[in-house]
C-alpha cells in the first residue's frame, strides 16, 4: 500500500473491485447530484490561514466528544450496505475504529446486525436510527441498541421520504442482488468479489431480517422497507425517541437556522449538520456552507458535529475551525473497505491522520482544540 497516498487512490481501487451497482451506490447522489458535488467543491472556497515562526515540534489530535475521550477529532458516519462492499464490512469498520479509538456510527440499514458488531468489538459504538412507521420495530431496535451498550443514538431527520437516486434504479440495486440479467453481468465481471462474499452469510439487512414479523426474505424486506419511511415525521417524534433512549441523543440532518432554534429547546446532546451526503434534497446547501451559517446559532450545551464532503485532513481542519466539535464522513472509509477490507479502512485513517497533522502544524497550530475562525482567511 506504499503507493496509496490519498483517499482518491482507494476510491479508484474500490471502483475496480466492486460490481458497478455497489460502487455506484457509494459514489452517487440524488437527481442531478449537484449537492453531492457541492459538498466537496465548497471546501475549496474556504482558505486556511498560514502562520510561521511558531514552535510546532509537537501536536495534539485528541478530542473529547460527548464526554468521552477519543484519539482523533473524526469518526465514521452511518452508511448502509457496507457488508456488500466486503464480507462482514460493518464489523471490520467497527474493529478499525476501535483500534484507533474513534467513533463509529452503525446504520439501521447495515448488513451486519447490531448484535453481530457488538459481539466482535469491545468499545461501544454509536447507532443510527431511521424514522419508521412501524413503532414496534423502532422500540425494539432502540432496546437492542441499548442492550448492545451503544454509546449514543443518532436520529436521522432528513429522510421522511426517499429521494430518487438514478444510478440505484438503473442498477436495480438490492441486497442481496436480484438475479436479473443486468446484475448477473455485473457480478460475473468481479469474480474476486464473488469468492469473498461466499465466505459470509451476511448478505441482507441484518437489523431488519428476522426482527419484523413476516420479513424473512429479499422480497419481503424490499416491500417492508419501501413502506416504512414516515412522511408524517414531526418534532414530536424526537420527543418520543427521547423517552425511549436514555443515553446521548444526536439529531442528524440539520441545515437550517429555523430547525436549530427548535432543536435548541429539545433534550438532545448534539446535532450533525448534514444533507445526507447529497443523497436527499438535491439543490440544497452544502454541509460546509451550512456549518458557516449555523456555528453561532446552536446552544452551548449542544455539541455540533459535521458530515458531508470530507475527503482529506485539510477538510477536517476547515470544519473544526468553523466550529464543529467532531467530524464525520462516510464515503472515504467505504472506498477503503471496498478496496482492501479492514486494512483499507485503516489506511484511510492513516492517510487522514497524516494530512490532518501536517495541515494543523503548517497553519501554526499544535492542538486541534484550539482551532477556530481565526485559523481561516
Closest of 129, 131, 127, 138 to residue 160, by C-alpha: 131
Terminal-residue alpha carbon distance, the chain? 35
Short-list 306, 247, 289, CA closest to 75? 306
For residues 121 and 204, what is the distance between their CA atoms, to the nearest angstrom? 21
Q: Judge if the upstream peptide bond of residue 176 is cis by omega within 30 degrees of 0.
A: yes
Instruction: Give the C-alpha separation, 167 to 22, whole Å.
Output: 10
Q: Count CA atoms closer than 13 A to 87's CA, side-chain side.
A: 10
| Contacts of residue 194, Cβ cutoff 8 Å, sequence gap at least 6 | 187, 188
User: Is 276 marked active-site?
Assistant: yes
What are residue 272's phi and psi, to 5 degrees?
A: -110, 115
**Catalytic residue selected from 11, 190, 276, 325:** 276
Q: Which has the closest alpha carbon to 370: 61, 75, 52? A: 61
Q: Which residues contact 198 (CB under 8 A, 6 or more apart)?
A: none
What is the grid cell recorded at 269?
Answer: 446532546
Instruction: Give the whole-angstrom CA distance, residue 235 versus residue 245.
Output: 16
For 293, the grid coordinates are 451559517
Residues 305, 326 contacting (CB under 8 angstroms): yes
- Residue 252 neighbours by CB under 8 Å, 6+ apart: 78, 128, 154, 155, 156, 157, 158, 271, 272, 274, 307
Query: CB-based contacts of 245: which residues, under 8 Å, 6+ apart?
Result: 142, 145, 146, 153
Residue whose C-alpha is closest to residue 158's, from 284, 326, 281:
281
Q: Could you tell me which of 205, 207, 210 has the C-alpha nearest to residue 222?
A: 205
Please report, for residues 246, 317, 350, 365, 370, the alpha-carbon distance to residue 57 in angstroms, rounded to integers and kept in the order given: 43, 18, 20, 10, 16
Residues annotated as part of the active site:
276
Amino acid at each position: 500500500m506504499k503507493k496509496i497516498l490519498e483517499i482518491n487512490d482507494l476510491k479508484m481501487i474500490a471502483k475496480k473491485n466492486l460490481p458497478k451497482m455497489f460502487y455506484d451506490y457509494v459514489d452517487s447522489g440524488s437527481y442531478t447530484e449537484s449537492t453531492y458535488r457541492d459538498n466537496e467543491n465548497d471546501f475549496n472556497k474556504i482558505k486556511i490561514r498560514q502562520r510561521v515562526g511558531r514552535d510546532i515540534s509537537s501536536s495534539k489530535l485528541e478530542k473529547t466528544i460527548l464526554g468521552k475521550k477519543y484519539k482523533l477529532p473524526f469518526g465514521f458516519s452511518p452508511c448502509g450496505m457496507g457488508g456488500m462492499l466486503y464480507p462482514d464490512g460493518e464489523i471490520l469498520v467497527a474493529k478499525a475504529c476501535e483500534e484507533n479509538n474513534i467513533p463509529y456510527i452503525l446504520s439501521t440499514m447495515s448488513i451486519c446486525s447490531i448484535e453481530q458488531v457488538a459481539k466482535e468489538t469491545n468499545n461501544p459504538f454509536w447507532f443510527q436510527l431511521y424514522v419508521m412507521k412501524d413503532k414496534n420495530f423502532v422500540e425494539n431496535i432502540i432496546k437492542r441498541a441499548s442492550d448492545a451498550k451503544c454509546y449514543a443514538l443518532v436520529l436521522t431527520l432528513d429522510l421522511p421520504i426517499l429521494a430518487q437516486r438514478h444510478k440505484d434504479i438503473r442498477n436495480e440495486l438490492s441486497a442481496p442482488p436480484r438475479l436479473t440479467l443486468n446484475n448477473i453481468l455485473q457480478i460475473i465481471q468481479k469474480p474476486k468479489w464473488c469468492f469473498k462474499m461466499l465466505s459470509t452469510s451476511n448478505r441482507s439487512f441484518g437489523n431488519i431480517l428476522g426482527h419484523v414479523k413476516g420479513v424473512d426474505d429479499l422480497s419481503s424486506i424490499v416491500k417492508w422497507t419501501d413502506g416504512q419511511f414516515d412522511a408524517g415525521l414531526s418534532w414530536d417524534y424526537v420527543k418520543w425517541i427521547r423517552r425511549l433512549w436514555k443515553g446521548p441523543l444526536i439529531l442528524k440532518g440539520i441545515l437550517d437556522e429555523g430547525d436549530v432554534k427548535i432543536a435548541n429547546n429539545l433534550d438532545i446532546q448534539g446535532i450533525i449538520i448534514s444533507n445526507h451526503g447529497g443523497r436527499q434534497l438535491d439543490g440544497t446547501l452544502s454541509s460546509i456552507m451550512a456549518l458557516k451559517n449555523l456555528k453561532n446559532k446552536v446552544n452551548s450545551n449542544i455539541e455540533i458535529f459535521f458530515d458531508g464532503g470530507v475527503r482529506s485532513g485539510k477538510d477536517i481542519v476547515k470544519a473544526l475551525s468553523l466550529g464543529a466539535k467532531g467530524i464525520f464522513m462516510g464515503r472515504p472509509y467505504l472506498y477503503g473497505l471496498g478496496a482492501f477490507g479492514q486494512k483499507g479502512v485503516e489506511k484511510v485513517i492513516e492517510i487522514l491522520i497524516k494530512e490532518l497533522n501536517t495541515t494543523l502544524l503548517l497553519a501554526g497550530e499544535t492542538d486541534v482544540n484550539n482551532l477556530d475562525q481565526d485559523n481561516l482567511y
